């Protein structure tokens, strides 16, 4: 996974589209990534690379889970 070796690449998110679930990877040192998972509507996601925060409720504001395929 070449992208993980790019020095400027410090954080990435995997956002589930069928339910409230975000996996956040933050680079802590050379070749070491820390995983944080969020799955509650009120969880607060801190985005260091953007110097900001967002709740899962805000992130998924316009998502309609009723139409999701399981």
pLDDT tens per residue across span 37-61: 999 999 999 998 899 999 999 999 9
d(C-alpha 17, C-alpha 34), whole Å: 22
pLDDT tens per residue across span 20-35: 999 999 998 777 899 9
Sign of CA dihedral 23, 70, 41, 60: positive
Which pTM was predicted?
0.83
Average pLDDT score over the chain = 89
């Amino acid at each position: 996974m070449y992208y993980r070796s790019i020095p400027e690449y410090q954080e990435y998110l995997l956002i589930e589209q069928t339910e409230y679930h975000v996996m956040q990877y933050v680079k802590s040192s050379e070749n070491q990534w820390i995983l944080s998972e969020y799955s509650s509507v009120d969880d607060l996601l801190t985005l260091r690379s953007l110097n900001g925060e967002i709740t899962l409720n805000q992130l998924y504001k316009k998502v309609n889970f009723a139409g999701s395929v399981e």
